[in-house]
């Protein structure tokens, strides 16, 4: 059953006292159902119906538990997009004495478009309710930004399906290096990404949106991270990756024509809806102590 904002706050009151005494935690071995704050955040009535409908593919409680999210952590989300994870992570951090930070369009870039500025403003407005989301903080992020915050200041960095974008933009190594710097020793880098078939030659620009686990592991290792665990939580065996418009042919995008071209009303998306969202890797890296 979903909880209202008031019920969520009441349910978490007891958690606050317990978490405050423990402080940030680098690892959580608890099963998802044992973390009351996480269960309440996932069940939150404030979450959009569109995002809730995606839970069947993204399995947020299981995935966040696997990645090691724990009460009291300082959380940094890279390129939060439509706010799927933000809807849960910000209330979770607020309820457990932690802190939530999101990257946002780089306001320090004089070339930043008006559209990007407006997108950031809308995102900030959406998550401005401090009673629910806490004091959401933002760090400038873009092709010309430098760093993700003070060194060793974050416990948990989440990347939800952005590796391919950073590959296309030629900034993957820089982003992973910045993530390594901002994490505390023992901190976690959590990665969700569209998964290419094992052994597939990797396009360095990831034009289909798919990336091999081997490529991601190599890139993260190059930045200094150590692979701690991988999981099949987000696997989708029905995804054969053979789609005319790359991963975007699948839900939730359901692209019907090449990017930049008008939608094709004659294109049959039914087979791609039947596949569901993409096959994905779930990887947990750690910054060595």
* 258: Cβ contacts below 8 Å, ≥ 6 apart: 245
- Contact yes or no for 73/156 (Cβ under 8 A): yes
Q: What φ, ψ does residue 213 adopt, rounded to 5°?
A: -60, -40
Domain ranges of the chain: 5-241+280-286
- Contact yes or no for 241/277 (Cβ under 8 A): no
Residue 31 has pLDDT above 50, yes or no: no
Mean pLDDT of all residues in the chain? Answer: 91
The predicted model gives 160-173 an average pLDDT of 97
Residue 273 has pLDDT above 90, yes or no: yes
Residue 4 has pLDDT above 80, yes or no: no
Fold of the CATH domain 5-241+280-286: Rossmann fold (3.40.50)
Query: Which band of pLDDT confidence, cut at 50, 70 and 90, is reported for residue 67?
Result: very high
Query: Which band of pLDDT confidence, cut at 50, 70 and 90, is reported for residue 32?
Result: very low
Residue 3 has pLDDT above 90, yes or no: no
* 140: Cβ contacts below 8 Å, ≥ 6 apart: 103, 104, 105, 106, 107, 108, 109
Residue 49 has pLDDT above 80, yes or no: yes
Query: Which band of pLDDT confidence, cut at 50, 70 and 90, is reported for residue 34?
Result: low
Cα(180)–Cα(198) distance, integer angstroms: 26
pLDDT at position 201: 95
Query: Per residue, what are the HEC states of the chain?
Result: CCECHHHHHHHHHHHHHHHHHHCCCCCCCCCHHHCHHHHHHHCECCCCHHHHHCHHHHCHHHHHHHHCCCCCCEEEEECCCCCCCHHHHHHHHHHCCCEEEEEEECCCCCCCCHHHHHHHHHHHHHCCCHHHHCCCEEEEECCCCCCCCCCCCEEEEEEECCHHHHHHHCCHHHHHHHHHHHEEEEEEEEEEEEECCCCCCCCCCCCCCCECHHHHHHHHHHCCCEEEEEECCCCCCCCCCCCCCHHHHCCCCCCCCCCCCCCCCCCCCHHHHHHCCCCEEEEEEECCC
Query: Which band of pLDDT confidence, cut at 50, 70 and 90, is reported for residue 2?
Result: very low
Cα(198)–Cα(104) distance, integer angstroms: 33
Q: pLDDT: is 206 or 28 the higher one?
A: 206
């Amino acid at each position: 059953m979903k909880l209202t904002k008031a019920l969520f706050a009441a349910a978490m009151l007891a958690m606050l006292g317990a978490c405050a005494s423990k402080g940030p935690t680098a690892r959580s071995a608890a099963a998802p159902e044992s973390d009351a704050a996480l269960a309440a955040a996932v069940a939150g009535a404030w979450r959009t119906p569109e995002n809730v409908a995606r839970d069947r593919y993204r399995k947020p409680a299981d995935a966040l538990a696997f990645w090691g999210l724990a009460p009291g952590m300082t959380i940094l989300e890279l390129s939060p997009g439509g706010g799927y994870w933000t809807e849960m992570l910000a209330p979770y951090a607020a309820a457990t004495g932690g802190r939530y930070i999101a990257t946002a369009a780089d306001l320090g870039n004089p070339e930043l478009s008006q559209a990007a500025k407006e997108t950031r403003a809308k995102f900030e407005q959406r998550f401005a309710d401090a009673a629910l989301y806490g004091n959401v903080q933002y760090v400038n992020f873009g092709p010309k930004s430098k760093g993700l915050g003070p060194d060793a200041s974050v416990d948990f960095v989440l990347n939800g399906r952005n590796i391919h974008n950073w590959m296309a933009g030629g900034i993957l190594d820089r982003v992973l290096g910045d993530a390594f710097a901002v994490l505390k020793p023992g901190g976690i880098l959590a990665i969700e990404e569209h998964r290419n078939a094992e052994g597939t030659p990797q396009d360095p620009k990831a034009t289909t949106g798919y990336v091999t686990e081997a490529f991601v592991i190599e890139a993260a290792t190059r930045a200094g991270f150590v692979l701690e665990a991988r999981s099949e939580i987000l696997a989708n065996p029905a995804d054969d990756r053979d789609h005319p418009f790359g991963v975007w042919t699948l839900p939730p995008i359901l692209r019907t024509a090449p990017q930049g071209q008008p939608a094709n009303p004659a294109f049959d998306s039914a087979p791609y809806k039947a596949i569901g969202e993409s096959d994905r890797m779930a990887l947990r890296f750690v910054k060595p102590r």
